[in-house]
Structure 1
Amino acid sequence: MQEIAKPAQYQDYHDWAPAVLIAAFFLHGIVFVWQAVGVIRAGEAHIVDHGGIALHWGGQLGLLIAFWFTASYSLQAWQMTIEAPDYKNFASTMEAERAAKYMIAAQPDGVLSIKGTLELGITRRLAALLAQDSEIYEIALSSEGGNIYEARGLSRLFRENGLTTTVTDECSSACTTAFIGGRKRQLRPGAKLGFHQYRILASYHVLGADPRAEEKKDQKLFLEAGVSRDFVSRMHSAAPGSMWYPEAGELLDAGVITESSD
């Protein structure tokens, strides 16, 4: 019966805690003790009348099992009264915090700028903007990196929509993966691309994570974009805590950028 009456997922009986706890105490406490005493007395009467103790032992074993179930249901009843976290609000808060770390802004003449870290959700958000505005032809990037999976998503979007990617000041780490998806790729005067080895920015062990394997995936993207194998073999040579900034001429010769921009 308690299984039927328990609240739905992400809901609770916090506002009804006194009534729930009183009902649990009555059913799992008073009623159970009354029933247990009745079983024990019935077993003792059976011994007196018939002399056998097997059924009495069976009754006591049943009581032990019933006690275990009763204790479990008592704990469940108490847990029902604990206020459940507002998961929907938590998810919205987390999404807002991530969105605050980057900015997507439309500029004149079909240019869309992306500034900040590449956070979860940025690919979905940009895809919606591209679907609304077919006049966008260029993405101006200014980012020191972020989530590599989102960077790949952006790279795919740029490639599928035939967009030009331009670096306004710096595009480093995961940002370079997004940048390479551009049909035309260019640097503004003084802008730079930064490369280094991948690392996991987490204070805990992430199961199945392999930064070297992720590097190989992105190296393949660069090769598919026409970048020279010599450059690709060196693009992840810098240590995770440092950065390699190739000269614009080297980037042009290697095919990382397709043209310079005044």
Structure 2
Amino acid sequence: MLPRLVLLAFVWGVNETLQLPVWLALCVIAADAVILLGQLRHYHLRAEDHIRDTGAMALSWGGYLMCLLVTAACVILWWDMILIATRAPAGETFETRMRRERAALYVLAPDATGQRLRFEGEITYGLTTRVQALLETGPELREIELTSPGGHVYEARGAAQAITAAGLDTVARGDCTSACTLLFIAGTRRRLAPGARLGFHGYGLAQAVHLPSYDIAAAEARDMAYVLSRGISRDFASRMFATPAQSMWYPDEDTLRAAGVLRD
């Protein structure tokens, strides 16, 4: 019992003084659980020997009750350790936490040469600000590589404007679909990496929610004008926005080049 009380005190002390990384907290909990199981097994064997030798059960059953209480205390401390490990850092504001969680949805970083910016993941709030910041601190950037299933079209518009203003070229790697195509079209020169695909569809917001104060048709018309301003043919743009939001249109490379989507 004494070794277990010492371990309980140790775990309690860690919870009171430290915020362990999640992986380390799980390792500590797993190790303590293995030790606890060994201690419970040891007590059970000793209790059986005591009952067999003396015939007295009261003391042994009291020990089992103590084991139950100790196990409950361990579970409480383990759960507390998990909560501490996963809570937001001390002093972090709600805005900072939301920014950190959104940034975790994508990767945005320059490559080793400093001339290519790599974006992979979901387009979410805060992306435009991060793109602008990287462009300001990395004037040698010449190209942005895109891999994304899309995301917030409003944020994609802002990031696309930043890409165009910086004169970056764009290259799609893997799938660049939905709102990601707005970023791709923003490039001065636009190309596909081997095996890459561009996926297009129209707006789905009108069917998903009713927003009486938001003109869906006007928003789509604004994006249509932007697409046309980037040298895309009207026939291609019309089919792009006519594609139902529940499906995806993947035009082949010849079609993309003929429509002006790809540009050397």
Global fold match (TM > 0.5): yes
Tell me the SS of whatever aligns to 1:154: helix
Contact 1:163–1:183 (CA under 8 A) maintained in structure 2: yes
Q: Tell me the residue number matched to 2:125.
A: 120
Change (3 A) 1:182 1:201: same
Moved more, 244-253 or 104-113: 104-113
Match for residue 250 of structure 1 among 246, 252, 255: 255
Q: Tell me the residue number matched to 1:93.
A: 97
Moved more, 101-110 or 183-192: 101-110
Q: How far is the alpha carbon of 1:204 from its aligned partner?
A: 6.1
Q: Tell me the residue number matched to 2:243.
A: 238
Contact 1:106–1:112 (CA under 8 A) maintained in structure 2: yes
Contact 2:204–2:246 (CA under 8 A) maintained in structure 1: no
Tell me the amino acid that sits aligned with residue 232 of structure 1. Answer: A
Q: Tell me the residue number matched to 2:142.
A: 137
Bigger-Rg structure (1/2): 1
Change (3 A) 1:201 1:172: farther
Separation (CA, whole Å) in 1 of partners of 2:206 and 2:102:
15
State yes or no: 1:153 paired with 2:174.
no
Separation (CA, whole Å) in 1 of partners of 2:206 and 2:242:
19
Higher share in helix: 2
Tell me the SS of whatever aligns to 1:113: strand
Q: How far is the alpha carbon of 1:200 from its aligned partner?
A: 2.8
Match for residue 217 of structure 1 among 209, 218, 222: 222
Tell me the amino acid that sits aligned with residue 162 of structure 2. Answer: L
Tell me the SS of whatever aligns to 2:117: strand
Separation (CA, whole Å) in 1 of partners of 2:208 and 2:260:
37
Tell me the SS of whatever aligns to 1:236: helix
Separation (CA, whole Å) in 1 of partners of 2:218 and 2:199:
19
Q: How far is the alpha carbon of 1:100 from its aligned partner?
A: 1.0
CA-to-partner distance for each residue in 1:1-54, whole Å, 9 max, x for gaps?
A: xxxxxxxxxxxxxxxxxxxxxxxxxxxxxxxxxxxxxxxxxxxxxxxxxxxxxx
Q: Tell me the residue number matched to 2:171.
A: 166
Tell me the SS of whatever aligns to 2:248: coil
Separation (CA, whole Å) in 2 of partners of 1:165 and 1:241:
26
TM-score normalised according to structure 1 size: 0.62
Separation (CA, whole Å) in 1 of partners of 2:226 and 2:181:
11
Q: How far is the alpha carbon of 1:209 from its aligned partner?
A: 2.8
Change (3 A) 1:88 1:203: farther
TM-score normalised according to structure 2 size: 0.62
RMSD, matched Cα: 2.3
1:36-75 correspondence to structure 2 within 5 Å: none
Q: Tell me the residue number matched to 1:194.
A: 199
Tell me the SS of whatever aligns to 1:130: helix
Contact 1:152–1:177 (CA under 8 A) maintained in structure 2: yes
Contact 1:199–1:211 (CA under 8 A) maintained in structure 2: no
Separation (CA, whole Å) in 2 of partners of 1:204 and 1:143:
24
Percent sequence identity over matched residues? Answer: 42
CA-to-partner distance for each residue in 1:150-171, whole Å, 9 max, x for gaps?
A: 1111111111111000001111
Separation (CA, whole Å) in 2 of partners of 1:94 and 1:170:
27
Separation (CA, whole Å) in 2 of partners of 1:243 and 1:118:
17
Tell me the amino acid that sits aligned with residue 99 of structure 2. Answer: E
CA-to-partner distance for each residue in 1:112-168, whole Å, 9 max, x for gaps?
A: 110111111111011111111111100000011111111111111111111000001
Tell me the SS of whatever aligns to 1:235: helix
Q: Unaligned stretches of 5+ in structure 2? A: 1-90
Contact 2:123–2:156 (CA under 8 A) maintained in structure 1: yes
Separation (CA, whole Å) in 2 of partners of 1:88 and 1:213:
39
